Chain A
């Protein structure tokens, strides 16, 4: 059974989802920190 590609696909998909989510967290964190800095200046 040539099923190894499914195994690889499942592992890649898992980490792709995790890295995508962590990327959104980092982006949101940076945006909020920037907003806080700007509000602090005002």
Chain B
């Protein structure tokens, strides 16, 4: 594994360089915004990657909470299956399709989102043990916060020349994204500074509530009037095919990069836990030594 990592890192660096070249040189210039629109190739893929990582954090946290008891695990499994089945069936109903179309959302986008939930739940549950689910949760949350930070930084930089303002106060898309970032920063702070035995359970519960903000952020531009433009994929917004292709390539490059960063962070977390265990063993050993020396001290008296 150690040998594969540098090769993958080099390949990802080349892919990112190619994606950036496409973003800046090959993609056509926007007729209205000019070249500044090219921020989209970093802003939007970062947002999608952050959402995906928070989704993984949510699934890992639910799996972690559910795996505490076999009965809870069985209930969670059937709830997830029910969400998948009901969600897919609902998107085929004419009434639901009509409602989705009325807000500019393609039913296929909704179906894909709903199918992702049971699929990710069972795959993550199969590949990760209980302890590693917690490691995966903290990894995805931390890397997700990094990508969400980029969204919150590049967004205002893009808004300034296009809207004439850095931030639209009260705008639901912007505010909910900021709240999402704050929730996951508090999740990381809880993990960093709480030494309680219940920290992992508390963090997992917080992650489940935090994840509820992700759909709010994602769907806010469909349900509310906002300054933020309509989505270009799965929604009513449209885009030049060359721009769309460049956007998807950029996202793929960022996904590869995020995967590598997550891999490094995952290994770091495992190492951290190993060191903590060694410290605990050492303190147990020294406590045992102290205990063993106590009767001797008494007898010496």
Binding site for B on A (CB under 8 A): 1, 3-4, 6-7, 9-11, 13-14, 17-18, 21-22, 25, 28-29, 32-33, 35-36, 39-40, 42
Contacts and interface: CB of A to CB of B under 8 A. Distances in A.
B261 interface: yes
B161 to A, nearest CB: 4
12 contacts: A1-B36, A3-B36, A6-B160, A7-B36, A13-B150, A13-B154, A14-B46, A17-B150, A29-B267, A39-B275, A39-B279, A40-B278
From DSSP, what is the main secondary structure of chain B's interface residues? Answer: helix
Contacts of A14: 42, 46, 150, 153-154
A34 B207 CA distance: 32
Contact of B261 (A9, A21, A39): A21
Given A1-B161, A25-B268, A6 B274 contact: no
A14 B35 CA distance: 17
From DSSP, what is the main secondary structure of chain A's interface residues? Answer: helix
Contacts, number: 79
Interface residues of B, number: 33
A36 B278 contact: yes
Interface in B133-168: 146, 149-150, 153-154, 157-158, 160-162
Contact of A33 (B36, B39, B271): B271
Nearest to A28: B268
